[in-house]
Structure 1
Amino acid sequence: MPAITFFSLLLLFLLSSASHLLADPVLGFTRSDFPRNFVFGAATSAYQYEGAVAEDGRSPSIWDTFTHAGKMTDNSTGDVAADGYHKYKDDVKLMADTNLEAYRFSISWSRLIPSGRGAVNPKGLEYYNNVIDELVKNGIQVHVMLSHLDIPQILDDEYGGWLSPTIVEDFTEFADVCFREFGDRVSYWTTIDEPNVSALGSYDNGIFAPGRCSDPFGITKCTVGNSTIEPYIAAHNMILAHSSATRLYREKYRAAQKGAVGINVYSSWSYPLTNSNVDIEAAKRYLDFVFGWILEPFASGDYPEVMRTNAGTRLPSFTKSQSQLVKGAIDFVGINHYYSMYVNDRPLDKGTRDYSADMSVYQRASRAKPPSGKQVPSSSSRSDPEGLQLVLQYLSESYSDLPIYIQENGKSNI
């Protein structure tokens, strides 16, 4: 996932429906060529932007622990990052000078509620109020991401973070503070960034904080974890946490604030490598695992059938009350799109499996669908505009009542 590279601004397009992207591309366009409700913006995440990790009452997050343990390949940390905690006014001025229309940033849970629950940090509250006020003053639409891969380290130490259902209540309390304190100026809330990727990076291959995995699935060397079940448990609790926070917003804040609450997923389109039936089915299965894993519960109250079949009891089940909580608990889908995948069928392993083995596809990333019989390029750094259009069409058809927001898009750096 590209988000592990520090950045100060990342291109963000916000759409009210997928149909706006379906026209033929035109070079030399101007702002007037786009609908009024098509918004150009940029985005940052707290740990990659703010810095000031030990200032004004902020407690360590799981990323502080992870980076200071030397887990980043370049040994980078977020200690300073883009120094947005001190330089946000300059950055907002740059946004205004470039006619940026929207800005999405994330809230550091560790800065706002250092103990994970309970007392709100006055300095953290002041900082986020100042950022929001500065954006409003400059006519920039405010979008907030509640959790961009980071949670307070204290909660990971206490009960395992996303691996425990306890986090649902704590996350809802955190969201409640944000809705209450900032909701008079914020109408667009995204709860969690890329649960489909963050669950894998954090609990399957160990490349994200808190860096858990088990052999033979870890990309990095992990000392703790279970790659076969933990990604499913973490994503399950993320879905429940999102749903709880969304229901809270609808019951307590929507009437007055008139905002919307959505969730973000990492997206990539799947092209079947050949026209064989097994590869076509593999491409469909890929979409169920990538999108359906997170989004299908909001539509039907349960996971896709192929996931329940292939993962079996390793995939958590929704109780009847949980299914009712989750179903319909989403106002929009945010997607991060960088490239597409070629996939072909992979026999289902009979031994120990993780999420990728459960998907049972071979996959490789590249820009355009190759002619039959040609070698598939292995590079994953190429963009695929056609794949993005197909993703939007697929989501629009599969979840027809939901607006789609392209929250990250560009050229992948992995």
Structure 2
Amino acid sequence: MATPELPDIASLRPDFIWGVSTSSFQIEGATQEGGRGPSVWDVYGHTDELKNRDSGDVACDHYHRYPEDVALMKALGVQAYRFSVAWPRVLPQGRGSANEAGLAFYDRLLDELLAAGIEPWLCLYHWDLPQALEDSGGWLNRESVAWFTDYTTLVAGRYGDRVKRFATFNEPSIFSLFSRSLGQKGRSAEDDLHRMIHHVNLAHGAAVDVLRDKVRNVSIGCIHNYQPCRPSSDRAADAVAAAHLSTYWNNAFPDPQCLGEYPAAMRSAVAPHVEADDLARICRPLDWFGLNHYSPVYVAAKPGALLGYDFGNKPSGCALTPIGWPIEPAAFADTLRIVHARYALPVYVMENGYGDAMQPDETGAVIDSGRMAFLRAYIEAMNAAAADGVDIRGYFIWSLLDNFEWDSGYSKRFGLTYIDYASQRRIPKASFDWYARLIRAARQP
């Protein structure tokens, strides 16, 4: 297959930001080095429940190889890199004494990025809760708001001289909906879910206030996975389940954070956990909306399941990525329009990408034509939304590197760079060069 042409980006802003994203647990490795404490994903990764019994122990070994990875970003020409700090690396117990060795790692990373002319975008939380805090109730404990406040204070004080772009959370709807701590020991899973949602929202608001206080000229957002939730059949029950899931998947976090109230469909369920002034503490001024988007979600009713849903069949003939996710760029454009209209904030696309399992060919090259075609179609959809007046200011591909993809382990590859996990060799894919060409073209006067 021929290399896809570059997309039409004529409607994007002249100062549009092109970047790449990663997260700490998915790439860093070195989980027992430099004084780092265990996270919930370290513990889960050693239960043998993950695909191929994979774990994040080594991942991409970014902890040791970050200069090579920054050099890859410089070769791409990206203006920005969105990454996350590992909470248990800087606070091994989640609170209390800070770990200087862990803090120093991010000092080195930031200095390397800035020397390469790449702006750091720091996400405070990308799912790796310190296990010590989970043992104390995790996000189900209202004290988690104070824990996150203290953690944010540490990070802002240490890095705020070099980092001006901060995200509080990545995909809070996903780590809450699929938390392993819901409904254990006879508790109600749905009540736990509402409690967790509210505590995470409170932690977000508290972190915004800390960042405003500690970091001069700070720019703050939260990153939400916003996907259309569609019924998988024409059954009325599936339509109800899809609408119900959409409330939690798409609106349970940005609505209170940006609009000052929970969606009507869940308001009474979360009310027992809401105290006086909580909504004002959550709804703090934000500078941008972070959007992660991959595909629509197809939903089937499942009585007795959490929120009464399951993932259902996709429409026959629906184009799919090799890992089975629908390819529908029009849904991306529609989502951008919805988010812009509902929340009235500038939008940065913080994750969009294509998963496969492609290996190098006999020449050692990775010619990922499917990824390039996907990116071209989605970037053109973004351009169409911008032409309609949507205030889109940046696009970050998931991901710079193949990495640890949560329950899927290393079986799914989203990177612009192939990782040979046995040797840790980095091999830029054809899509890497394609994206570099796009960035060069976009930055030409």
**Under TM normalisation by the shorter chain, which class is it?**
0.7 to 0.9
For 2:22, the equivalent position in structure 1 comes to 44
Whether contact under 8 Å (1:302, 1:318) holds in the other structure is no
2:195 maps to 1:233:
yes
Give the Å deviation of 1:226.
Answer: 4.3
CA contact (8 A) 2:227 2:250 kept: no
* Cα deviation 1:376-414 (Å, max 9, x = unaligned): 7898423221111111111111111x2222111123568
Task: Classify 1:341/1:95 alpha carbon distance in 2 versus 1 (closer, same or farther; 3 Å).
Answer: same
Partner of 2:158: 181
Residue-pair matches, total: 352
For residues 1-40 of structure 1, give each alpha carbon's deviation from its aligned partner in whole angstroms, at most 9, with x where no partner exists: xxxxxxxxxxxxxxxxxxxxxxxxx953488874333222
Q: How far is 1:276 from its partner?
A: 10
The question of 1:322 aligning with 2:278 is answered yes
In the alignment, structure 1 residue 407 sits paired with structure 2 residue 362 = no
SS of corresponding position for 1:55: coil
Residues 170 and 69 of structure 1, relative CA distance in 2, 3 Å threshold: same
SS of residue in 1 equivalent to 2:53: coil
- The letter of the residue matching 1:97 is A
For residues 116-144 of structure 1, give each alpha carbon's deviation from its aligned partner in whole angstroms, at most 9, with x where no partner exists. Answer: 11222111111101100100000111111
Cα deviations by residue, 1:140-176 (Å, 9 ceiling, x for unpaired): 111111111011111112x211110111111111111
Q: 2:214 aligns with which of 229, 253, 278?
A: 253
Alpha-carbon contact 1:267-1:335 (below 8 Å) kept: yes
Please tell me whether residue 340 in structure 1 is matched to residue 296 in structure 2: yes
User: 1:263-282 to 2 correspondence within 5 Å?
Assistant: 263-271=222-230
Deviation at 1:76, TM superposition (A): 0.8
Cα 1:243–1:276 shift into 2, 3 Å: same
Deviation sequence 1:88-118 (CA, Å, 0-9, x none): 0011011111212211111011111112112
Which of the residues 67, 73, 80 maps onto 2:58? 80
What is the alpha-carbon distance in structure 2 between the residues aligned to residue 225 and residue 329 of structure 1?
35
318 and 213 in structure 1: CA distance in 2 versus 1, 3 angstrom threshold: closer
Matched residue type, 2:197: A
Identity of aligned residues (%): 30
Per-residue CA deviation, residues 331-381 of structure 1 (Å, 9 max, x unaligned), is 32212111113458x59x5xx562x32xxx676475xxx6xxx78789842
Q: Cα distance, 1:274 vs. partner?
A: 8.2
Uncovered stretches (5+) of structure 2, i.e. residues with no partner: 357-407, 409-445
Q: Given residue 407 of structure 1, which amino acid in structure 2 is its aligned partner? A: M
1:136-215 paired onto structure 2 within 5 Å: 136-157=114-135, 159-202=136-179, 211-213=180-182
**1:334–1:48 distance in 2 versus 1, CA, 3 Å:** same
2:339 partner letter: L
**Equivalence for 2:102:** 124
Per mean C-alpha deviation after superposition, the further-off stretch among 136-145 and 70-79 is 70-79
Q: Could you tell me how far 1:330 is from its partner in structure 2?
A: 3.2
Within-5 A mapping of 1:53-72: 53-72=31-50
1:384 maps to which of 328, 333, 336 = 328
The residue identity in structure 1 corresponding to 2:353 is G
Asked whether the 8 Å contact 2:92–2:99 carries over to 1, the reply is: yes
Structure 1 residues 228 and 343: CA distance shift in structure 2, 3 A = closer
Shift of 1:306: 1.1
Indicate the SS of the match to 1:74.
helix
| Offset, 1:229 | 2.2
Aligned-partner SS, 2:120: strand
Per the alignment, residue 112 of structure 1 pairs with 90
Which sections of structure 1, spanning at least 5 residues, go unmatched?
Answer: 1-25, 203-210, 215-221
Q: How far did 1:47 drift?
A: 1.1
AA of the residue aligned to 1:308: R
C-alpha distance 268-106 of structure 1, shift in aligned 2 (>3 A): same
Match of 2:361 in 1: none
State the match for 1:331 in structure 2.
287
Q: Pick from 62, 80, 96: which aligns with 2:74? A: 96
**Deviation (angstroms), 1:232:** 2.0
| 8 Å Cα contact 1:261/1:331 also seen in 2 | yes
Cα RMSD of the aligned pairs, angstroms, is: 3.0
Distance 1:362-1:123 versus aligned 2 partners, 3 A rule: closer
Q: 1 CA distance for matches of 2:229 and 2:352?
A: 17
Alignment of 1:354-393 (within 5 A): 354=306, 356-357=307-308, 364=312, 366=314, 380-393=324-337
Pick closer, same or farther for the CA change 1:84–1:224 going to 2, 3 Å: farther
Return the letter of the residue paired with 1:334: G
In 2, Cα distance between the equivalents of 1:403 and 1:30?
Answer: 21
**Corresponding residue for residue 16 of structure 1:** none
Measure the CA separation in 1 of the matches of 2:134 and 2:237.
41
Change (3 A) 1:244 1:110: same
TM-score by length of 1: 0.76
Q: 1:185 and 1:334 mapped to 2: Cα distance?
A: 21
Cα 1:223/1:80, change in 2 over 3 Å: farther
- CA 1:285 to 1:63, structure 2 compared with 1: closer, same or farther past 3 Å? closer
2:339: which partner in 1?
395
TM-score between the two structures when normalised by the length of structure 2: 0.71
- 2:262 pairs with 299, 303, 318, which one? 303
Contact in 2 for aligned 1:168/1:240 (Cα 8 Å): yes
Displacement, 1:295? 1.1
**Which amino acid in the other structure matches residue 203 of structure 2?**
A
Give the AA of the match of 2:248. F
8 A contact 2:259–2:343 mirrored in 1: no
Which stretch shifts more, 171-180 or 374-383? 374-383
* 8 A Cα contact 1:382 1:411, kept in partner: no
CA shift, 1:192, in A, is 1.3
The amino acid that maps onto 1:268 is Q
Tell me the distance in 2 between the aligned counterparts of 1:38 and 1:277.
43
